[in-house]
Structure 1
Amino acid sequence: MGLLSALAVILPATGSEEFYIDVGIVQRFGENAEDEIVLESPDNAPLRVEFEEEGNAIALLTNRLTLEIEERALEKPQLRERLVLSDHATFETAESSAKSWEERGLLVEVTQPGRWQVWAKTDIYRTPLLRRFLLASLKEEGYEIPYLQTEFLEEVPIVTFEINGERYTVENLSIQHEGERIYVDASDEPRRLYPGSLQLQPNSYGNYTLVNTVEVEDYLRGVVPHEIGHQAPFEAVKAQAIIARTYALRNLHRFEADDYELCATVHCQVYWGWSETNDRSDRAIQDTARQILSYDNQLVDALYSSTTGGVTAYFDDIWDGSPRPYLKSIVDSTEGIWDLEANPLNEEENFRQFIAQESNFNETGSHAFRWQRESNLEELTEDLTTYLERTNHPDAEAVTEIKEMTVTARSRSGRILEMEVETNQGTITLEKTEVRSAFDPPRSTLFYLQPVENDEGELTGYEFIGGGFGHGVGLSQIGAHHLARQGWAASEILSFYYPETEIIPLEEVIEEE
Structure 2
Amino acid sequence: MTLKAAPGDRLTLRFNTNGKPQTLITSSLKLETVMQSLPEAQVEERVVFSTHRSFETAEAKAEQWHAQGIEVELAQPDRWQVWAKRSTYNTPLLRRLLVQSLQAKGIQTARIDTQILKQVPRPSFVLNGYRYTRDQLDITAGNGQIGVDREKDDQPSHTYAGSLRLQPNAYGNSTLVNVVPLETYVRGVVPHEIGGWAPQPVLEAQAILARTYVLRNLRRFAIDNYQLCATTQCQVYWGIDGAVPATDQAIAATRGQVLTYQNELVDALYSSTTGGVTAAFGDVWRGWDRPYLRAVIDSVNPVWDLKNRSLSNEQNLRAFISQKKGFNEDGTDMFRWRYDTTLAQLNQELHSYLKSVQHSLASFKTIRNLQVTQRSLGGRVLKLAVTTDRGTIELEKDDVLNAFEAPASLLFYLEPLVDKNKALKGYAFVGGGMGHGVGLSQVGSYNLGKLGWTSDRILSFYFPGAQLQPINNSITLWRDRSSLQGQANPNSRNN
TM-score, normalised relative to structure 2: 0.94
Q: Measure how far apart 1:511 and its partner are.
A: 9.4
SS in 2 for 1:263: coil
Q: Which residue of 2 aligns with 1:11?
A: none
Report the AA paired with residue 217 of structure 1: E
Q: Measure how far apart 1:302 and its partner are.
A: 0.6
Q: Which residue of 2 aligns with 1:21?
A: none
The 5 Å alignment of 1:40-55 reads 40-55=4-19
1:481 to 442, 446, 451: 446
| 2:333 corresponds to 1:363 | no
| 2:389 corresponds to 1:448 | no
Q: Which residue of 2 aligns with 1:373?
A: 339
Q: Measure how far apart 1:311 and its partner are.
A: 0.5
Contact (CA 8 Å) 1:111, 1:118: kept in 2 or not? yes
Q: Measure how far apart 1:395 and its partner are.
A: 2.7
> Which consecutive residues of structure 1, in runs of 5 or more, have no partner in the other structure?
1-36
Q: Measure how far apart 1:131 and its partner are.
A: 0.4
1:268 to 223, 227, 234: 234
Q: 1:271 to 1:511 in 2, by over 3 A?
A: closer
Q: Which residue of 2 aligns with 1:10?
A: none
Q: Which residue of 1 aligns with 2:379?
A: 414
Q: Which residue of 2 aligns with 1:180?
A: 144
Report the AA paired with residue 231 of structure 1: W
| 2:399 corresponds to 1:434 | yes
Report the AA paired with residue 265 of structure 1: T
Q: Which residue of 1 aligns with 2:481?
A: none
Per-residue CA deviation, residues 34-61 of structure 1 (Å, 9 max, x unaligned), is xxx2111012221110001111000111
Q: 1:471 to 1:108 in 2, by over 3 A?
A: same
The 5 Å alignment of 1:12-51 reads 37-51=1-15
**Counterparts of 2:456 and 2:404 in 1: how far apart (Å)?**
37
Report the AA paired with residue 382 of structure 2: L
Q: Which moved more, 1:227-236 or 1:98-107?
A: 227-236
2:300 to 334, 340, 343: 334
Report the AA paired with residue 327 of structure 1: L
Aligned alpha-carbon RMSD (Å):
1.2
**Counterparts of 2:346 and 2:474 in 1: how far apart (Å)?**
48
1:73 to 17, 21, 37: 37
Per-residue CA deviation, residues 60-106 of structure 1 (Å, 9 max, x unaligned), is 11111111111111111101111001111100000011110011111
Report the AA paired with residue 99 of structure 2: L
**Counterparts of 1:222 and 1:334 in 2: how far apart (Å)?**
31
| 2:134 corresponds to 1:170 | yes
2:216 to 250, 266, 275: 250
SS in 2 for 1:123: coil
**Counterparts of 1:130 and 1:420 in 2: how far apart (Å)?**
37
Q: Which residue of 2 aligns with 1:157?
A: 121
Report the AA paired with residue 98 of structure 2: L
Q: Measure how far apart 1:399 and its partner are.
A: 1.8
**Counterparts of 1:276 and 1:44 in 2: how far apart (Å)?**
22
SS in 2 for 1:399: coil
Q: Which residue of 2 aligns with 1:133?
A: 97
Q: Which residue of 1 aligns with 2:246?
A: 280
1:506 to 466, 471, 493: 471
**Counterparts of 1:486 and 1:509 in 2: how far apart (Å)?**
35
Report the AA paired with residue 261 of structure 1: Q
SS in 2 for 1:414: coil
Contact (CA 8 Å) 1:297, 1:508: kept in 2 or not? no
User: What count of residue pairs does the alignment treat as equivalent?
Assistant: 476
The 5 Å alignment of 1:301-320 reads 301-320=267-286
Percent of matched pairs sharing the same residue: 48
**Counterparts of 2:353 and 2:475 in 1: how far apart (Å)?**
42
Q: Measure how far apart 1:190 and its partner are.
A: 2.6
Q: Measure how far apart 1:510 and its partner are.
A: 4.6
**Counterparts of 1:129 and 1:508 in 2: how far apart (Å)?**
44
Contact (CA 8 Å) 2:259, 2:469: kept in 1 or not? yes
Contact (CA 8 Å) 1:171, 1:200: kept in 2 or not? yes
**Counterparts of 1:380 and 1:45 in 2: how far apart (Å)?**
53
Q: Which residue of 2 aligns with 1:492?
A: 457
Per-residue CA deviation, residues 379-407 of structure 1 (Å, 9 max, x unaligned), is 111111111122222332x1221111000
| 2:284 corresponds to 1:324 | no
**Counterparts of 2:32 and 2:270 in 1: how far apart (Å)?**
37
**Counterparts of 2:453 and 2:116 in 1: how far apart (Å)?**
59
Per-residue CA deviation, residues 431-479 of structure 1 (Å, 9 max, x unaligned), is 0011111111100000000111111111111111100001111100001
Q: Which residue of 2 aligns with 1:223?
A: 189
Q: 1:361 to 1:509 in 2, by over 3 A?
A: farther
**Counterparts of 2:474 and 2:142 in 1: how far apart (Å)?**
33
**Counterparts of 1:246 and 1:495 in 2: how far apart (Å)?**
15
TM-score, normalised relative to structure 1: 0.91
> Which consecutive residues of structure 2, in runs of 5 or more, have no partner in the other structure?
478-487, 489-495
